[in-house]
Amino acid sequence: MPQVDPRQIVDEATSGGYAVGAFNMHNEETTEALVRAAERAQSPVFLQVGRAIVPHMGLKKAYEMTRRIAEESDAEYVIHLDHGPWDEVFEAIKLGFTSIMYDGAHLPFEENIRTTRRVVEVAHAFGIPVEAELGKIPNADEQVDWSSYYTDVAEAERFVSETGVDFLAISVGIVHGVPLAKPQPLDIQRVKQIEAAVGIPLVLHGASGVPDNEILAAMAAGVHKFNADTDLRLAFRSGIEDVWAQGDRQLEEAMAEGRERMIEATVQKMKLYGCAGKAQHRRQLVQQ
């Protein structure tokens, strides 16, 4: 099945009061897990080519693998570049990605605006929506001064106005990875303030390890795309480890068990976000 319009599925999530899941693949089996989960849950999905897989196999091979597996399925999917640096963004556009995240959050604010604006100009010329990030997201259990990490509401308003981005990833207490200690509670009031200021769908990266009640609160406040990776990788790893713990077993058997557990974990995320069943709903709308 060909890719679906990323703007359409996020717009439908926004109007429907739910969120779309965005998940990273790492090899053939994890890509298959995400696609099969989307089929099983009848959910749209963002298949994210990100920071882990690109150094492992290169952007072109990662994209081609993802596209091949997804096209052979009945899943409704978007192939999305996650945390793309400047040069990688333009390579992704040439390859055929239909959704781009340009990550200039590490740059000074004015430079982030300038470079993001240019990415938006080029991507929009090809009909590709752009996600950007404002604020800093620490790694799990990193000691930080959260006041300097949160997305500033006034800066978010100006950033969106001057860049024309389609989706904005924000920092409101999330981390990359799953914290071992008690996680920082999400600043839901800040989510509401940012949503009111920018008027575009918001994204939360680092959704692994966040309590379900906070996920639901963030969704009600204006987040309509959640990025999660660590929880799913841990599910995949548990399947491999449990098979190998039984003694000398085939690698393929271990990978198959990891894939099945990742499918189950991804379906649970889709149910939590409210996007499960929405792909079927989209097909019914098309048929009418």
Q: Which residues line the annotated binding site for Zn(2+)?
A: 83, 103, 133, 176, 205
Active site residue 145: no
Q: Which of 5, 11, 74, 82 is catalytic?
A: 82
Name, in order, each residue with C-beta under 8 angstroms of 239's C-beta and a sequence gap of 6 or more: 254, 256, 257, 258, 259, 260, 261, 262
Binding positions for dihydroxyacetone phosphate are 177, 206-208, 227-230
Q: Kindly write down the DSSP assignment for every residue of 105-160, as one continuous string.
A: TTS-HHHHHHHHHHHHHHHHHTT--EEEEES--PBTT----GGGTSPPHHHHHHHH
* Helix-strand-coil split of the chain, %, nearest 5: 55, 15, 30
Crossing angle for the helix pair 59-71 and 86-95, to the nearest 10 degrees:
40
What gap in Å lies between CA 11 and CA 4, rounded to an integer? 12
Instruction: Cite the annotated binding site by residue number.
Output: 83, 103, 133, 176-177, 205-208, 227-230
Structure tokens at 148: 């300097």
Active site residues: 82
